[in-house]
Amino acid sequence: MPGSKLDPIDRRILAELQADGRMTNVELARRVGISAPPCLRRVRTLEEAGYIRGYHAKVDVRELGFEVRVFAMVGLHSQAEADLSAFEARCRAWPLVRECHMLNGEIDFILKCVAPDLSTFQSFLTEELTAAENVASVKTSLVIRCAKEEPGVPFEVLEQRLEKMA
């Protein structure tokens, strides 16, 4: 299991930074029970190894005027690797698409989209998404409200699994 390559302090560092990526190194070191210099070295090692891929502010999309959130389920004509990669590249270029996941089953991709209003999303849908090369079908669902939005992973589940393996 990939998480088992990390020691308990590294996992605690990741959990703490996932919860609050803005804390100082001194505060992080205090929370995980080590001094600041080795804590900073560990954080740098975790970054270099790819466990930490960035630090982000969680912005309120509605406060910024993005009132519409939509999930779009996309079916493609061809699932050849070149065609899948081409669609993924196109999704990365569309600003309204915030997440793109390839799925197993009837739907090839699910996209999480945001837009300031319904007409902006409709224009994107008709002029770009459904018009894109290789797109066979698009089904959309408008988000009414979000009951839970937790980034990252549940570190408590990882720790429980590791305890059972020990």
Q: Do domains 2-57 and 68-142 have the same CATH topology?
A: no
> What tens-digit pLDDT sequence spans the chain (166 residues)?
455 589 999 999 999 999 999 999 999 999 999 999 999 999 999 999 999 999 998 999 999 999 999 999 999 999 999 999 999 999 999 999 999 999 999 999 999 999 999 999 999 999 999 999 999 999 999 999 999 998 889 999 988 888 888 7
User: For the chain, which residues make up each domain, given as ranges?
Assistant: 2-57, 68-142
**For residue 1, what pLDDT is reported?**
42
**For residue 5, what pLDDT is reported?**
85
CATH code 1.10.10.10 for 2-57? yes
**Who contacts 65 (Cβ-Cβ below 8 Å, separation ≥6)?**
116
Rounded alpha-carbon distances, angstroms, from residue 162 to 7, 25, 32, 84, 140: 11, 26, 18, 36, 39
Whole-prediction pTM: 0.86
CA-closest candidate to residue 51, choices 100, 3, 9, 99: 3
**For residue 162, what pLDDT is reported?**
87
Q: What is the CATH number of domain 68-142?
A: 3.30.70.920
